[in-house]
Structures are given as structure tokens and as C-alpha cells.
Chain A
């Protein structure tokens, strides 16, 4: 599904990612953990295609294509989805309009016709149940006046509707109380399948109690310094990230 090879990326001449190697197979859930400033958000932004990052070395192969050659929207149309750490408010654009426009864009790429109004609404309603959102959210402006939890649920709703092959969840647990965390996690878990891969980026282990990963990687100073299974996350919870920083600094640049 996704193969990241020796990925180096800089912002304003400062190298943030310093040789990432990661393979994610179909159906796998990978958690990427690490201290602040390790490059976690940079990695998710580079994968989703945000401007402002210079790729200095390496490549990212997604379903056989070089992902880094594609525009953000081309990646989305091919099934890459980024759930934002800070979901964006868009006054004047209703949620239902956004959902239709997004679904149409993906379906058009797939050579499918737009859904008619009834099929679309039926589909959206079924997805809204997953994240326990009521229909009033459809007619409100995207994320405007939403609580932190509602914004994150809205991200998962978009993901559920678009059915991506690769979902990148950037700090999806941040700012969530325990009830909202559970709803969001249930939503993500219900979307797990053998054809869909998930890359979860998180600072805290807490999320991994709810969305149990197949693999856990520790990112530090722009590199993956340790990989393991879910037990690694528990170890991190106990020991913190201080040992990680030492390890990273001990390595030759």
C-alpha cells in the first residue's frame, strides 16, 4: 500500500525528516508516536501533499505510484485521506455541500457517476450514525461553532464517506474527552478492513487503548528510532520519551 523510503524533508532550509523508512501493507494499522518536534505532523503533511515542504531525498510509493509527484487533490482522489489535527472552519460552506463535492470528486476519478440526491442522503445518514452525529450538522457551515469533539467526529464522517485506502489520522485524540474519544475510535474501528490501511499519529498512548495498532513506531528527530507492537506504546507510557531523545542524538546524522 505505502512504502516510504529514506524520506528527507525540509522547511525553510531546516531538515525535519531525516531518513524515514516505513512500509504499510493493506489492512494494517500503524501508530507513529514521538515527542513534540519529532516530525510527526511534518510526516502527515508531506504524505497529504501540503505545500511548503521541500523533499530533499527519498521517495514515497503509494499503490505503485510516486505519491510525491501528485497534487494534494490527486492523492485524495486516489484514496489518501488526512484527518486534521486542527479541523478547519469554513463559514459559508455547508457540511452537506462539502460532503457531496468531496464524494463527487473521488467518484469522478473512479469513473463513477454522481450519486442522486436520495442515494447520497441515505449513504450520508448511515455514515453519520457511525459517529453519532445528527442531521442538523449537515446544514451547518463546515466545523463552524462545532466543539472540539464534534470537529473530530466530522473528520471521521468525511473519512467514512470517502472510504479511503490510506487514512492518516493526525493527533485525532487531541482535545477529546473520554466520551468523544470513544465515539471517534469506534468510528475508526468500524472502518478497519483488509483493504484499508491506517497511519495514526499521536503523542499519547491513550488513543491506542481504543484503536489497537498492529505496529508502533517511535519517531524522534526526524527518524524512526524504534518499532514494535502495541507493547512498545505501553513501555513508552511508562518511561516517557526522554530515552528516545538520547537514542536519537546518539546516532550519526
Chain B
């Protein structure tokens, strides 16, 4: 068997043959060199590493990917249909390349800037790479080596956005097994407020590999509602890292909805660095067939008086496999932390498998923390109740499955977004229709 470091070499050689953005920038060159060193040294993460115990990148390593996209045509109409929201500041990336034509960035309000990474790379030195560690096992080092596009979103102090920003990342299917490496940066200055959606979709069922890192910085009293919706093709590999730092009294609500891809892995981290900061870290995964989804989350309470809530739910069918690992770390000085975490799973078949591990590491003594996970089937009493009201067994099951999933949306403050997500969930878990 080949060494994992060896399996990583196809990627390592890409940097030599692909034109990368920002090659003239010495700081970036140096960062990329460090990342290359790290990646060559670590290789792809292996199962013997605790964070990768249940998720193997063997399949990924066996697939040849190209980093050069064929010409693709995505029409405005198609882009509208794929988007989650019609009324949003939309940034569109097609096959790893920013599309000015499909993006709607003409009339941005004062205080909001949205730029493709490719044109703003020379201005992000202070932000890029601050939230992530290229030395950690994972694909952040690879991303740092090869990142070539992404969205850089900044909200100025005191600005409250009137509508959401949707980053729509489309794989057009024009290139088989296209790999893209995206780096997004979202930064909110003091007292600002925004909603940002990362949305990953495929047209058709071509294989692909998306490797994305999103870095988020929240200044004091900033509020960000962040959503990630992953609907890539059944042949896609999707690997995402999302990391945020939160200053005093900031609020970060994030909801990670994972429906697509053959193989998906999310690493999500929040660092609460200022008092009164609050994180809501929710997620939903719906998997069937042979899908594999792994969500690793981590919340670091670093100072006193911070709070976090986390609810992850999953619905598994067929021979799918899901992994949930949620870590909450209450550091030594973080007194009066209030942290709650839960992971609930609904298993619809005998062939599916869930590995769930909620973890709390508490080094402070005056805290309120709770966590738990459940794995179960549909509730017989609820099924019987619905049948006594005339619903047939199949309808009752699908209604309860939908209801289980859609509960994750309850904490979303925006009615429009909650509605949009429930439509997406309903496409995947149809419930019996009722007259309007």
C-alpha cells in the first residue's frame, strides 16, 4: 500500500502547472511554501488520527482530478434557479472562477464590499490564514497551496445589511472531476450586522472535488447569521473548513445544512475571545444511498461569560454513514460559561451507520454545560396517532421524518430564509401535500 504522503503528491504537483493568483506577493508565496511543506509532510489525514477515525480519504486519493476547467455556460436563468434567494447580493463562482456576469454586485450599499479573492488578494494579508492552522491534519494546507478564488466580504462599522449575501458556488458539470480550492473571508466590523449564505451546488452528476476554507472575524457587537447549504452532486467530494473568531458581545449563528455529495466533511470552529460573545452552531445532514457525511465542530470558550448552543440533527437512510464529533472546550479562565450541545439522529434503515461523539472539556469550575446525543427511529406513538387521523403509514412516516429534520430551522431568525430552507428540505424529504 502506498504511503498517504505519496498519495498527496498528485495535488502537490498541481501548483507547478496551474497559474495561481497572487504569485507576485511575497507574503503569499511564503505562506504557500509553508503550506506545501506541511502538506508534503502530513499528507492526507489518516484514520489513525483521532479526528479522522471514521472518515477515510482513500476514495479521494484514488480519484484523478483536474484543476483546469473547460469552458462552461451557465445562464442567468439557471443561476437564478439554483440560488437559494432571489433577493440577495449574489456572488457567483462557476467551476472555480468568479462570474461577474452572474453576480449582482452592481449596487452595493455603503459599508458593504464584496470582492472575488482573485482581484482582492493583495489586500487580505492581515486576514488570510488567521483563523486556520495549516499544520493540523486536514486539507487546509492543500487549500492554502492551491486556493485560486473565493469571496471576500467586509461590512463596515455600524452597517446593518438590508438583505443577505449569497455566495453561490456552481459546479457546471462541464469538466469531469474538476477540483476547486476556494478561500472565503467574511469580516464584520464593530456593531455591524449581516447574513451570509454559502451555497454549493452542482448541475448534473459529474464528479468533483470542492475544498473550501472560510474565515470569519466578528468585531465587538457584530452579528452574523451564517448559513452553509451543500447540495453537490452524488459523485462529489466536498471538504470544508469554517472558522470564526468572536470579539466581545458578538453573535455568530451558523447553520450547516448538508444534503449532497458522495463524501462530505465539515470542520467548523468558533473561538469566543470576548465576554458576552455568543455562538449558535446548528446543523442538519440528510444522507442516503452510499453517502458519507462527517461534521466535526469545535467551540472554544476562552474568556468568562460566553455562551454557546449547538443542535445537530441527522436523518440517515439506505447504507449511508454519518459522523458527528462536537467538541466544546471551556478554558481555564472561562468562568460562567453556558454551553449546550446536542446531536440527534434518525435512522430509517438497517444499513445506515452513525458515529456520534459529543465532547466537553471543562477546565473552569463555575460553568453550566450540558450535552447529549440520541440515535433512534420514528416514534411509534406519533405514527399511530397520525394513522388514527387518517394518514396512511407511508405518509405518516414521511411527515414525521420531515418534521424531525425541519426542527433544526427553528432558531433561524429570518422567516424568508427559514422558508427557503424548508422548501429545500421538503424536496429531499417530501411530506404529504395538503391543500393550500
Contacts and interface: CB of A to CB of B under 8 A. Distances in A.
Interface stretch (B126-134, B285-293, B392-400): B392-400
Name B's interface SS. helix
Interface residues of A, number: 36
Contacts of A91: 403, 407
Contact of B399 (A51, A76, A101, A109): A101
A90 B435 contact: no
Contacts of B399: 93, 101
A225 interface: no
B434 interface: yes
Contacts of B403: 90-93, 141
Nearest to A90: B382
A13 B434 CA distance: 41
A76 B434 contact: no
A139 interface: no
A75 B435 CA distance: 22
A107 B405 CA distance: 29
Interface stretch (A3-11, A113-121, A240-248): A113-121
Contacts of B400: 90, 93
A81 interface: yes
Interface string B380-391: 111011111111
Interface in B200-221: none
Contacts of A90: 382, 385-386, 400, 403
A137 interface: no
B387 A77 contact: no
Pick from B390, B402, B432 the residue with the most CB of A within 10 Å: B390
A53 to B, nearest CB: 12
Interface string A100-113: 11101110010000
B391 to A, nearest CB: 6
Contact of A76 (B380, B390, B435, B436): B390
Chain B residues touching A, range: 20 to 34
A71 interface: yes
Contacts of B436: 116-117
A92 B402 contact: yes
A105 B390 CA distance: 5
A11 B172 CA distance: 58
B434 A82 contact: no
Contact of B389 (A51, A76, A120): A76
Contacts of B52: none
Contact of B388 (A49, A93, A104): A49
B376 to A, nearest CB: 14
A238 B387 CA distance: 39
A92 B406 contact: yes
A93 B434 CA distance: 12
Contact of A102 (B384, B390, B393): B390
A105 to B, nearest CB: 3
A73 interface: yes
Nearest to A89: B382
A93 B402 CA distance: 9
A158 interface: yes
B54 interface: no
A117 B388 contact: no
Contacts of A100: 434-435
A109 B389 CA distance: 13
A73 B391 contact: yes
Contacts of B407: 91-92
B393 A51 contact: no
B425 to A, nearest CB: 10
A230 to B, nearest CB: 28
Interface in B239-289: none
Interface string B399-436: 11011111100000000000000000000000010111
Given A98-B389, A105-B392, 18 more contacts: A48-B388, A71-B392, A71-B393, A73-B387, A75-B388, A76-B387, A82-B388, A84-B385, A90-B403, A91-B407, A92-B403, A100-B434, A101-B389, A101-B434, A102-B391, A114-B435, A162-B389, A162-B390
12 contacts: A73-B390, A76-B387, A88-B381, A90-B400, A90-B403, A93-B400, A98-B389, A105-B392, A117-B436, A141-B403, A158-B389, A162-B390
**Top 5 nearest A-B pairs by Cβ distance?**
A92-B403, A105-B390, A114-B435, A100-B434, A102-B389
